[in-house]
Structure 1
Amino acid sequence: MSDILFCPTCKTYTLNNICIRCKKKTITKKPPKFSPQDHYGEYRRKLKKRIKKEKKPDKEKENV
């Protein structure tokens, strides 16, 4: 049994290597493997925090 594949062009899921709708090549759509030693966790958390800070002032402006 093959993995589910994703067509980035028409944004549909399929089990075929070629998309039925647009005839383009499909890609696998899997999350990264879990690892107890999360090598990039620190960077991901910092980025998440920074994005949250950047979005916060926009919400305050809308309420004024």
Structure 2
Amino acid sequence: MKINMDNIKSATVKIDKVKGNRYDRFLEIISDDSRMIKFRLNIENQLLFLKIIQNNIKERFSIKN
């Protein structure tokens, strides 16, 4: 999936229920055309990935519990 960073309205990291009692981290992206895209953050270096996103979209990035 290809997402243009200029078309991101907001990006939020959330802890959400996967199934049953399992919770995991998700990156929820809302685009300028109001599409919502959720990525499960099951990558090895999550902090580096999130820092790259934050550097590209600045104040549109947030982390929620």
TM surpasses 0.5? no
TM-score (structure 2 length as normaliser): 0.22
TM-score (structure 1 length as normaliser): 0.22
Name the structure with the higher strand share: 2
Q: Tell me: higher relative CO, structure 1 or 2? Use CA pairs within 8 A at least 6 residues apart.
A: 2
Name the structure with the higher helix share: 1
Larger Cα Rg: Structure 1 or Structure 2?
1
